[in-house]
Chains A and B, each alone.
Chain A
Amino acid sequence: MSVLNLSGVLSPRGARPVPAEPAGELVLDVRDLRMRYGRNDVLSGVSFTARRGEVLALLGPNGAGKTTTIEILEGFRMRSAGQVSVLGTDPARGGEAWRARIGVVLQSWRDHAKWQVRELLEHLGSYYAPYSGSGGRPPGTSRAAPGLPRPWDVDDLIATVGLTEQAGQRVRRLSGGQRRRLDVAIGIVGRPELLFLDEPTAGFDPEARREFHDLVHRLADREEATILLTTHDLDEAEKLADRILILAGGTIIADGSADELSQRMSTQAEVRWSRDGQRYVHSAEEPTRFVRDLFRQYGESVEDLEVRRASLEDTYMALVRQAETGPGLADDTTIRKFSVVAG
């Protein structure tokens, strides 16, 4: 198995420049999206936005409507009500030119089994050629599209997803992990400005997951693609996403960065240290001040210091539990807090 070798090129997520704010380029603008099946409201008013180059993770318990939301945005499913704008177009009326600017990573099963990897990517890429731009960014604009050259050069793409050794192989001979990388390659062959990933790393081993994360970073950083992904893996969401949306009970109950979410949700942090061979644990409302006092008092005898904020998992569990126990004052406060942070 070949290995994605991107780690050297990539900056860590934290060092990445924040997407340009003021341009107001909303790639996704969802307002009061509703979906009803029979008498069952799956989505009861979902609202959020995404700017160009942002990576959004959509979290939520099973059945919360994550896939429904994504499929409506992809234009694969009609909505019951609400306003949706994807790259400036209503996905229910998105034409082929709109489709060319969007990438969808689908989970393959046994489709195109007889095709060779390179052959398939070259073929699917050819549909994007009429929608190619001149390449480069027109001077004086912050917008690369419609200047993006399409499709992605096939050999470069194959190398990017780490399938160079398998380029001549038939799809059915690929391993599960290789197949998923091919799925990603197919999703991005048209150089999408917006990419949808529905549970992209389900069934990945840790190494494959890591490689995939590197690839997502590269897409967001270099290609300036906006990415919306759903996942059950909170660690993955925290690593990948600029912003996390939590969908529960048919609506977005939280919207902010992982840091913002945990800071807002829990005012208490856990401080652990040891002194003279004795271990201590303390819950502090203001851990920084507490630690400062601790050092002032005990100086160098403080060892093994650890300050732990509530993890995203703690935050997530608390928020979802709150949302599921029914609407209350607490809910409203939470949402308001986050929208203040996000706005």
Chain B
Amino acid sequence: MNARGMAVRAGARRGWIELKHNFTTPNDLVTLVIFTAILLGVMIWVRTTTVPGTQFSLGTAMLASMIGMTVGFNGLATLGGILTIEREDGTLLRAKATPNGMTGYLVGKVVTVSGTILISVVATLIAGAFLFSGLALGSAGTWLTLIPVLLLGLLATLPLGAVLGSLFPSARSAGLLTLAVSGLVAISGIFYPITHLPHWLQWAGQVFPLYGLGLGTRSALLPAGLASVEVGHSWRHLATFGVLGAWTVAGFVVAPLLLRRVARRESGSSVAARREKAMRQIAG
């Protein structure tokens, strides 16, 4: 196997190791559990409320949306945030100083973030199967829609997350990034049908991949009748795949350029300068 191929394998191992770290570090695990518990709690709370205009449980609808949100949120905010933090703390520079290290680093990040997403999705589906009624988990059509939506969602959001991570200058601005993505969640019809938002916000929301992801997972997991509350009273699979596909193409064009620029600028002194700046901000 050539050196690049071995770096891809090393990257996959790196991703697996970091995934294990995330699930064996008490702090990380507690954060994850609390975050998931709050969301599940909210959904259980609204289990008996119905989606407006239907007899269907709002909690179940939210859970279906949340699967899509998990992909989008982790792909954008988590990956982007990790990149800004690891640029600042010198992880990226170490990768640059290692032969084919950047390849390994990026493969590792994709594996870690995808793995986290996969685990969260499976956990949410299991919770959904036991705590909520109305999810169409038994039919083949569900999985034939769900799996392509999740895969395309990863392809659409991971490169975009890398772009965001390259654009935000410091780890301190990573919080801003999370905030921005949370704002996006709010206008993407994840927790409440988008049709109840003002018209211009509906349009804004539909441009971004999070809406498509939520719509896609809802279409896979909810009964066909629920399409009536969506825009155009349809699951609009073509539009969903069109929007996600467009973001995928854009991401794969722009991300390598930006990542290369970020990598080129890394050096011992640039990391030292950021460290000093961060220390001053902590002290000040």
Q: Give me the interface of A with B, judged by CB distance under 8 Å.
A: 67-68, 70-71, 74, 76-77, 96-97, 99-100, 104, 106-112, 114-115, 119, 123-124, 126-131, 186, 190, 198
- Residue in contact with B99 in the complex, picked from A74, A76, A127, CB distance below 8 Å: A127
- Residue in contact with B7 in the complex, picked from A108, A111, A127, A190, CB distance below 8 Å: A127
A131 to B100, CA, bound (A): 11
Query: Could you tell me the distance in whole angstroms from the C-beta of B251 to the nearest C-beta in chain A?
Result: 25
Residues of B contacting A107 with CB < 8 Å?
A: 90, 268, 271-272
Contact A123 B101 (CB under 8 A): no
A70 to B268, CA, bound (A): 10
User: What 19 new A-B contacts, CB under 8 Å, besides A97-B99, A104-B97?
Assistant: A67-B269, A76-B267, A76-B268, A106-B97, A107-B268, A107-B272, A109-B90, A109-B271, A114-B18, A115-B17, A119-B17, A123-B13, A123-B14, A124-B94, A127-B6, A127-B10, A127-B99, A127-B104, A130-B1
Contact A71 B268 (CB under 8 A): yes
Contact B6 A129 (CB under 8 A): yes
Contact B275 A190 (CB under 8 A): no
Query: Could you tell me the distance in whole angstroms from the C-beta of A71 to the nearest C-beta in chain B?
Result: 5
Residues of A contacting B90 with CB < 8 Å?
A: 106-109, 111
Residue ID in chain A nearest B93 by CB atoms: A106
Contact A106 B94 (CB under 8 A): yes
A90 to B7, CA, bound (A): 24
Contact B99 A190 (CB under 8 A): yes
A268 to B91, CA, bound (A): 51
Contact A114 B21 (CB under 8 A): yes
Query: Could you tell me the distance in whole angstroms from the C-beta of B200 to the nearest C-beta in chain A?
Result: 43
Contact A106 B268 (CB under 8 A): yes
From A70, A114, A129, A131, residue with most partner B Cβ within 10 Å: A114
A127 to B4, CA, bound (A): 9
Contact B10 A111 (CB under 8 A): no
From B3, B7, B91, B93, residue with most partner A Cβ within 10 Å: B3
Residues of B contacting A104 with CB < 8 Å?
A: 97, 268
B1-27 Cβ-contact flags toward A at 8 Å (1 or 0): 111101100100110011001000100
Residues of A contacting B100 with CB < 8 Å?
A: 96, 127
Residues of B contacting A198 with CB < 8 Å?
A: 268
From A70, A114, A127, residue with most partner B Cβ within 10 Å: A127
6 A-B pairs (CB sep. < 8 Å)? A70-B268, A74-B97, A106-B93, A106-B268, A107-B90, A131-B99
B261-276 Cβ-contact flags toward A at 8 Å (1 or 0): 0000011110110010
Contact B99 A128 (CB under 8 A): yes
Query: Could you tell me the distance in whole angstroms from the C-beta of B79 to the nearest C-beta in chain A?
Result: 17
Q: B98 contacts the other chain (Cβ, under 8 Å)?
A: yes
Top 10 closest pairs, chain A to chain B, by CB: A130-B3, A76-B267, A100-B99, A114-B21, A111-B91, A96-B99, A111-B89, A99-B99, A104-B97, A111-B90
Contact A124 B91 (CB under 8 A): no
Contact A124 B98 (CB under 8 A): yes
A280 to B154, CA, bound (A): 82
Q: B230 contacts the other chain (Cβ, under 8 Å)?
A: no
Contact A126 B272 (CB under 8 A): no
Residues of A contacting B271 with CB < 8 Å?
A: 106-107, 109
Contact B91 A96 (CB under 8 A): no
Contact A71 B272 (CB under 8 A): no
A67 to B269, CA, bound (A): 7
Query: Could you tell me the distance in whole angstroms from the C-beta of B250 to the nearest C-beta in chain A?
Result: 29
For residues 33 through 73 of chain B, which have their beta carbon under 8 Å from a beta carbon of chain A? none
A186 to B90, CA, bound (A): 13
Contact A77 B17 (CB under 8 A): no
Residue ID in chain A nearest B263 by CB atoms: A76
Residue ID in chain A nearest B275 by CB atoms: A109
A123 to B98, CA, bound (A): 11
A253 to B221, CA, bound (A): 74
Contact B97 A99 (CB under 8 A): yes
Residues of B contacting A128 with CB < 8 Å?
A: 98-99
Residue ID in chain A nearest B272 by CB atoms: A107
- Residue in contact with B3 in the complex, picked from A114, A115, A131, CB distance below 8 Å: A131
Query: Could you tell me the distance in whole angstroms from the C-beta of B5 to the nearest C-beta in chain A?
Result: 9
Residues of B contacting A108 with CB < 8 Å?
A: 90
A106 to B94, CA, bound (A): 8
Q: B236 contacts the other chain (Cβ, under 8 Å)?
A: no
Contact B267 A71 (CB under 8 A): yes
